[in-house]
Chains A and B, each alone.
Chain A
């Protein structure tokens, strides 16, 4: 990443043409043939040299993209053998302990894929592992985008698309997980049926509409199949394309540093550097998923057996991404209201029908809320370090804490048996923790960020700790601080000074109508909270003084070192 390395990228500085190596004539001829017919050259000229900045955290979304490709590939393989039908058949495949058992065609063909199709079990497990990783990587990508402020103008809509991708990925995962019609997924579908029926008034209509009659009926698997392989992947593909087109259009964000501004992108070109890096990363993602599929058993449907409403198994959990609403469902008290002969099941509605959509709404609204509170309407292409937006970082950590605790509550039975705890006590603890935990997390994160800001300020104004201890003539010991290298000092100070919230007088003198004044007041209050206690970067004068001081200290230190440890003699006074 240093300038010295940059010289290795291209052999031309633009004044003389790059010479193609000999022996590539055939390739050139083909490229020329294609260019004359498709006009690829013009389209590619700009994009092949498009520059992307380099940072590990910019590759998290790529994990999602590549695992999506693995999903498409393995999914096509599975469709060749999977029979999405609920017709009752007698299993006569290779798995002895289920031979002769009656089950749906879907289940029987899943067992055939697992035991009678060559490589089928590996493909099934890869498909499932890829799904788990697809959604997990979308989430960590989202965390990165949020915590670095990459969602700010002009990228808010791409944030919204990302949230929709997360939602669709989850639905896609649920429909796929339900297809084999095994005992575990059938229990999940039954739960989903119950959730629908918990919606007031329309619940039973919705359930009958989806299942084509009373649960389980014989339409749900074919319907999920159509959604799983056609409808949702189609929308997913379209949104992924839109997400990436917007990425190209907006250009990638970058970290602040010498030479990096809001107007440029510093990095390496698409070809050859990013094509190689991203292409290589695809194979790594593919490889890791293949290893997971080969080494770790996932969803062993042959042990669950076919779905039968009279059976259930301990440890019936959904896949991890549905775990947090399940956790809320597990810890909510049995609240119900009976009114005019209708039962309102708050214990199901709140955790399943209210909380997930609410969380999604909060997620989608975050960029717009922040822009409104801060009043920031500028474009941002330089990223913020999480510590430099303490309240934002703290909000996300609070949300993560809520998510994590709900998630853990979803595994309360496993926690109970593995840690020898009482499942009831875990439930009582979680009931309080989901409320208190996020508040504690918010406060700690906010103060932690501010401490880190102070640390940065200290480094800028007083230099870094050199590790050199100096004994003064009086016998006191002190560590010498040395000035930061210029690049580092620039990196730390390349950030905006937070705006000062409007004062009440300013708002009242603006001559706005009553309701608007109220809104503006609220906004000013929220902004004051948002920026409260943040450490602002040092002013130019402060930095200048600090530099002088540091230089002085440096000279002093050098003189002391030159004098040697015992050369200055005893103090005279």
Chain B
């Protein structure tokens, strides 16, 4: 103890020395650096991987996206002053994952709205593009699986989630996407697409980023747990048997009316012709 006091005393004699501050700084830096190196070596590798991913994404971006969105994702204006391709500086990775992952981007041609089509890029390329666009600014990240996956829930929990999801779906989604998620019309050629049989991740991302004509349902609007509930409800609709028979496209009374006229009245008039053509036993003789 004494020895320690003595050496501390010896050290403290230099505490106001000219190099003391520098020494402390060096020691601190060494300590943090050493600790960082000891405890987080993987992080350093992934930073480097992330940089490469962003670089790879930029290469892909320059080839496939820059024509409309600009070489740095700043967007391209037409001569008329409207957007040719919007700026992507703050759309976030989730938006890229949704647009490219569902085949909407790259668009085949300019149009009112990008339709869903065959996916052009593979998984790794989409990740690279997302990383690049994500690096341009802020914006939502690609959601983790546990945010939208209903796996591992008990039946009771799931049922409650589905009931809640159904009500949220009817209050927020059906006005455009229809009661069965079959889609609906929007002004000037726009449309709310069919959302049945869509990847749960993409539904989550759509709510998060509000693609095309859609509103953004931020986590403040619909909390993550409620987003999951909507996804659970849609999954239930997919799994549920068609209780009443063929659903006729799930479009409501228009397709029902078409069936009533074509199948119902059509077949009944056909039967009327058949009955009128068969008079008392005449067919037996003629046949």
**Are A317 and B252 closer than 8 Å at their CB atoms?**
yes
Encode B236-273 as 1/0 by CB contact (under 8 A) with A. 11001011111110111111110111011101110111
A434 to B250 CA separation, bound complex (whole angstroms) = 28
Give the nearest-CB partner of A95 in chain B: B243
Flag the segment in A15-23, A133-141, A502-510, A520-528 that touches B: A133-141
Number of A-B contacts (CB under 8 A): 223
State the B residues within 8 Å of A (CB): 112, 159-160, 162-163, 166-167, 170-171, 174-180, 182-189, 191-192, 233, 236-237, 240, 242-248, 250-257, 259-261, 263-265, 267-269, 271-273, 275-277, 279-282, 285
Give every chain B residue within 8 A of A514 (Cβ-Cβ). Answer: none
Give every chain A residue within 8 A of B255 (Cβ-Cβ). Answer: 414
A121 to B250 CA separation, bound complex (whole angstroms) = 17
**Are B268 and A285 closer than 8 Å at their CB atoms?**
yes
A398 to B265 CA separation, bound complex (whole angstroms) = 22
Across the A-B interface, give the 4 residue pairs with the lowest CB-CB distance, nearest first: A314-B184, A320-B257, A297-B244, A422-B189
A396 to B177 CA separation, bound complex (whole angstroms) = 38
Q: How many residues of A contact B (CB 8 A)?
A: 79
**Are A137 and B275 closer than 8 Å at their CB atoms?**
no
**Are B167 and A101 closer than 8 Å at their CB atoms?**
yes
Chain B proximity of A410: nearest CB distance (Å) = 8
**Are A132 and B282 closer than 8 Å at their CB atoms?**
no
A352 interfacial by beta-carbon distance below 8 Å: no
State the A residues within 8 Å of B (CB): 1-2, 5, 8-9, 54-60, 62-63, 96-101, 114-115, 121, 125, 129, 132-133, 136-137, 140, 183-184, 268, 273, 277, 280-281, 284-285, 288-289, 292, 294-300, 302-305, 308, 310-320, 323, 410-414, 416-417, 420-425
A54 to B233 CA separation, bound complex (whole angstroms) = 56
**Are A5 and B280 closer than 8 Å at their CB atoms?**
yes
A284 to B247 CA separation, bound complex (whole angstroms) = 24
**Are B256 and A268 closer than 8 Å at their CB atoms?**
no
Give the nearest-CB partner of B115 in chain A: A420
**Are B245 and A313 closer than 8 Å at their CB atoms?**
no
- B187, B244, B256, B264: which contacts A424 (Cβ < 8 A)? B187
| Additional 11 contacts, C-beta under 8 A, given A5-B279, A294-B245, A312-B174 | A101-B163, A121-B243, A284-B271, A297-B248, A302-B243, A305-B179, A308-B171, A313-B170, A314-B183, A316-B252, A421-B189
Give every chain B residue within 8 A of A100 (Cβ-Cβ). Answer: 160, 163
**Are B281 and A298 closer than 8 Å at their CB atoms?**
no
**Are A413 and B268 closer than 8 Å at their CB atoms?**
no
**Are A317 and B254 closer than 8 Å at their CB atoms?**
yes
A115 to B240 CA separation, bound complex (whole angstroms) = 13
**Given A55-B276, A97-B236, A313-B174, residue A136 in contact with residue B245 (CB < 8 A):** no
Chain B proximity of A218: nearest CB distance (Å) = 21
**Are B184 and A297 closer than 8 Å at their CB atoms?**
no
- A5, A281, A305, A319: which contacts B282 (Cβ < 8 A)? A5
**Are B248 and A140 closer than 8 Å at their CB atoms?**
no
**A–B pairs, 12, beta carbons within 8 Å:** A8-B280, A60-B272, A62-B272, A96-B163, A99-B163, A277-B275, A292-B260, A292-B263, A295-B245, A297-B245, A304-B170, A423-B188
Give the nearest-CB partner of A184 in chain B: B252
Give every chain B residue within 8 A of A277 (Cβ-Cβ). Answer: 275
**Are B243 and A268 closer than 8 Å at their CB atoms?**
no
Give every chain B residue within 8 A of A280 (Cβ-Cβ). Answer: 275
**Are B189 and A317 closer than 8 Å at their CB atoms?**
no
Give every chain A residue within 8 A of B159 (Cβ-Cβ). Answer: 96, 99
**Are A304 and B179 closer than 8 Å at their CB atoms?**
yes
**Are A296 and B259 closer than 8 Å at their CB atoms?**
yes
Give every chain B residue within 8 A of A136 (Cβ-Cβ). Answer: 260-261, 264-265
Give every chain B residue within 8 A of A425 (Cβ-Cβ). Answer: 189
Chain B proximity of A305: nearest CB distance (Å) = 5
Chain A proximity of B130: nearest CB distance (Å) = 29
Give every chain B residue within 8 A of A121 (Cβ-Cβ). Answer: 243-244
- B177, B244, B254, B267: which contacts A300 (Cβ < 8 A)? B244
- B192, B263, B272, B279: which contacts A314 (Cβ < 8 A)? B192
**Are B280 and A314 closer than 8 Å at their CB atoms?**
no
Give every chain A residue within 8 A of B268 (Cβ-Cβ). Answer: 63, 133, 137, 284-285, 288
**Are A1 and B279 closer than 8 Å at their CB atoms?**
yes
**Are B265 and A137 closer than 8 Å at their CB atoms?**
yes
**Which secondary structure dominates where chain A touches chain B?**
helix
**Are B257 and A132 closer than 8 Å at their CB atoms?**
yes
A57 to B276 CA separation, bound complex (whole angstroms) = 9
**Are A317 and B253 closer than 8 Å at their CB atoms?**
yes
**Are B256 and A319 closer than 8 Å at their CB atoms?**
yes
**Are B178 and A314 closer than 8 Å at their CB atoms?**
yes
Chain B proximity of A443: nearest CB distance (Å) = 26
Give every chain B residue within 8 A of A300 (Cβ-Cβ). Answer: 180, 243-244, 247
Give every chain A residue within 8 A of B253 (Cβ-Cβ). Answer: 184, 299, 315, 317-320, 323
**Given A60-B272, A312-B175, A411-B254, residue A295 in contact with residue B246 (CB < 8 A):** yes
**Are B167 and A56 closer than 8 Å at their CB atoms?**
no
Most buried by A among B162, B248, B251: B251
Give the nearest-CB partner of A133 in chain B: B264
Chain A proximity of B86: nearest CB distance (Å) = 21
A473 to B112 CA separation, bound complex (whole angstroms) = 69
A5 to B285 CA separation, bound complex (whole angstroms) = 9
Chain A proximity of B195: nearest CB distance (Å) = 11
**Are A314 and B177 closer than 8 Å at their CB atoms?**
yes
A320 to B178 CA separation, bound complex (whole angstroms) = 18
**Are B269 and A56 closer than 8 Å at their CB atoms?**
yes
Give every chain A residue within 8 A of B237 (Cβ-Cβ). Answer: 97, 303
**Are B184 and A424 closer than 8 Å at their CB atoms?**
no
**Given A136-B264, A297-B243, A314-B174, residue A423 in contact with residue B185 (CB < 8 A):** yes
Give every chain B residue within 8 A of A318 (Cβ-Cβ). Answer: 253
A132 to B251 CA separation, bound complex (whole angstroms) = 17
**Are B170 and A183 closer than 8 Å at their CB atoms?**
yes
Chain B proximity of A254: nearest CB distance (Å) = 13
Chain B proximity of A423: nearest CB distance (Å) = 5
**Are A315 and B245 closer than 8 Å at their CB atoms?**
no
Give the nearest-CB partner of B159 in chain A: A96
**Are B176 and A314 closer than 8 Å at their CB atoms?**
yes
Chain A proximity of B262: nearest CB distance (Å) = 10
A352 to B155 CA separation, bound complex (whole angstroms) = 49
A425 to B236 CA separation, bound complex (whole angstroms) = 37
Give the nearest-CB partner of B184 in chain A: A314
A559 to B261 CA separation, bound complex (whole angstroms) = 54
- A183, A281, A422: which contacts B272 (Cβ < 8 A)? A281
**Are B279 and A54 closer than 8 Å at their CB atoms?**
yes
Give the nearest-CB partner of A54 in chain B: B276
Most buried by B among A56, A97, A314, A318: A314
**Are B257 and A319 closer than 8 Å at their CB atoms?**
yes
**Given A97-B163, A292-B263, A323-B257, residue A417 in contact with residue B280 (CB < 8 A):** no
**Are B276 and A320 closer than 8 Å at their CB atoms?**
no
Give every chain B residue within 8 A of A98 (Cβ-Cβ). Answer: 163, 166
Give the nearest-CB partner of B155 in chain A: A96
Give every chain B residue within 8 A of A288 (Cβ-Cβ). Answer: 264, 267-268, 271
Give the nearest-CB partner of B281 in chain A: A8
Chain B proximity of A566: nearest CB distance (Å) = 39
Give the nearest-CB partner of A298 in chain B: B256
Give the nearest-CB partner of A285 in chain B: B268
**Are A59 and B264 closer than 8 Å at their CB atoms?**
no
**Are A56 and B254 closer than 8 Å at their CB atoms?**
no
Give every chain A residue within 8 A of B250 (Cβ-Cβ). Answer: 303
